[in-house]
Amino acid sequence: MSCVLFAPRPSAAQSSLAQNETGHGQECTDENLHGLQPGEPQRAKISFPPEMIFAQRSRLAIEIGAHSVRQTSISWQAGADGVLAPVSDVPLRHDRDGRAYIEVAPPGFGNLQLELGLVFEDCVAEILRGQIKVPAPRRNPDEFILAWTNWRYVRKTGTAHLDFGNFPVVVLIPLAYYQGISSPVPVPRDEVEFAVITGNYEKSPIAFYDTSLGSVKSVGLGQALVKATFREKSAYVCIDVTRDAAVTSAHADCHGLVPPGITVPPGEPEDAPNSFRK
């Protein structure tokens, strides 16, 4: 499938393109970079494949009209997890018959969106978007962690502190790390098995209210350990529910709930690693 976004104002991707290319006549800037005018025919077409293989480079053919392309860029997005990798330039190549193409490799798996941005010689920008399914790889990840986020933090590990006021909800983010992939890969929640561990005969202080997003809310006071399992690897996050999440204690680490042989999660939030830790 293929579609075109008509944008009278430059997007972030378009601005990035404008700042990086000056070799075709006039320089494209945020001021003169613009989208197709209403009713103007699209200048490029691409047939996005319905399915691709994770981390495997594939060739995508592009039909380009009479206008010369000065720069191309791509961006991958994964639904609720947002952008998988920053906007990056890709070279526009041509085969022996003069047909244009780019080579891309999905940096994640699940239902992804690939965005292709093109800037033409006259500083017209065109964005093509397509949905691509990328099956999860069969091999186990080299590392698997369970991170979390809320309105204050982004991709933290360790104990998540909840209350019933400003911090009632946390979103769990399963992350897989593979050697050769420069950034962590968000694992679709339907590929992950979740379990909540509490003390004997204790009612869980948390509850999942949107499993597709990994959203957890506070429903009572206490601690719970969330276990996530993907491809035979498990990771844990401690969730501590108190009356005020801003006030923490030294024992807010689910120490008594962690199975033997498993490292207790850090008591305070730490940044999730940006790459595979050898």
128 & 49 share domain: yes
Q: What is the pTM of this model?
A: 0.81
What is the model's pLDDT at position 6?
31
pLDDT surpasses 80 at 94? yes
Q: Does residue 276 lie within any of the structural domains?
A: no
What's the rounded Cα separation, in Å, for the pair 112 and 186? 11
| Residues near 89 by beta carbon (within 8 Å), at least 6 away in sequence | 20, 71, 72, 73
Domain range for 29: 4-134
Q: Are residues 125 and 158 in the same domain?
A: no
Cα dihedral sign, 168-155-110-83: positive
User: Is 229 a domain residue?
Assistant: yes
- 14: DSSP letter: H
- Dihedral angle over CA of 118, 21, 27, 23, nearest 10: -110
Q: What angle do CA 77, 79, 83 make, to 5 degrees?
A: 30
CA–CA separation, 55 vs 1, rounded Å? 21
Q: What is the mean pLDDT of the chain?
A: 87
Residues 44 and 158 in one domain: no
Last residue of a domain, one of 134, 155, 190: 134
149 and 251, same domain (yes or no): yes
Q: Is the pLDDT of residue 7 over 80?
A: no
Looking at the fold, whether 110 and 161 belong to one and the same domain comes out as: no
Q: How many other C-beta atoms lie within 10 A of the C-beta of residue 196?
A: 16
169 & 76 share domain: no
| 180 burial via Cβ count (<10 Å: 0-12, 13-18, 19+) | exposed
Tell whether the model's pLDDT for residue 23 goes beyond 60.
no
Q: Is residue 16 part of a domain?
A: yes
What pLDDT was estimated at residue 25? 58
Give dist(CA 124, CA 92) in Å, integer. Answer: 17
| Whether 103 and 18 share a structural domain | yes
Instruction: Kindly state the helix (H) or strand (E) to which residue 15 belongs, with its residue range.
Output: helix 12-20
Q: pLDDT digit string (tens) for 214-248?
A: 999 999 999 999 999 999 999 999 999 999 998 87
pLDDT at 19: 46
3-class SS of residue 128: strand
> Does residue 10 carry a pLDDT above 60?
no
Q: How far apart are CA 48 and CA 250, in angstroms?
A: 52
Where is the domain boundary, 134, 169, 201?
A: 134
CATH number of the domain where residue 237 is located: 2.60.40.1080
pLDDT category of residue 153 using cuts at 50, 70 and 90: confident
Please say which residue of 96, 111, 134 terminates a domain: 134
Give the Cα separation of 75 and 114 in Å (integer). Answer: 6
Q: What is the mean pLDDT of residues 249-277?
A: 80
How many domains does the chain fold into?
2
pLDDT higher for 4 or 155? 155
Note whether 129 and 151 are same-domain residues.
Answer: no
User: Looking at the domain assignment, is residue 277 inside a domain?
Assistant: no
Looking at the structure, do residues 231 and 152 belong to the same domain, yes or no? yes
Mean pLDDT within 26-30? 84
Whether 189 is covered by a domain: the verdict is yes
Per-residue model confidence (pLDDT) at position 192: 95
CATH code: domain of residue 65 = 2.60.40.10
Answer yes or no: are the C-beta atoms of 208 and 237 closer than 8 Å.
no
Query: 96 and 163: one domain?
Result: no
Residues 171 and 238 in one domain: yes
Residue 123 and residue 213 share a domain: no
- Domain-located, residue 278: no
Q: Is residue 55 part of a domain?
A: yes
- Residue corresponding to tokens 């997003």: 213
pLDDT band at 180 (very low <50, low <70, confident <90, very high): confident
Q: Please check whether residue 212 lies inside any domain of the structure.
A: yes
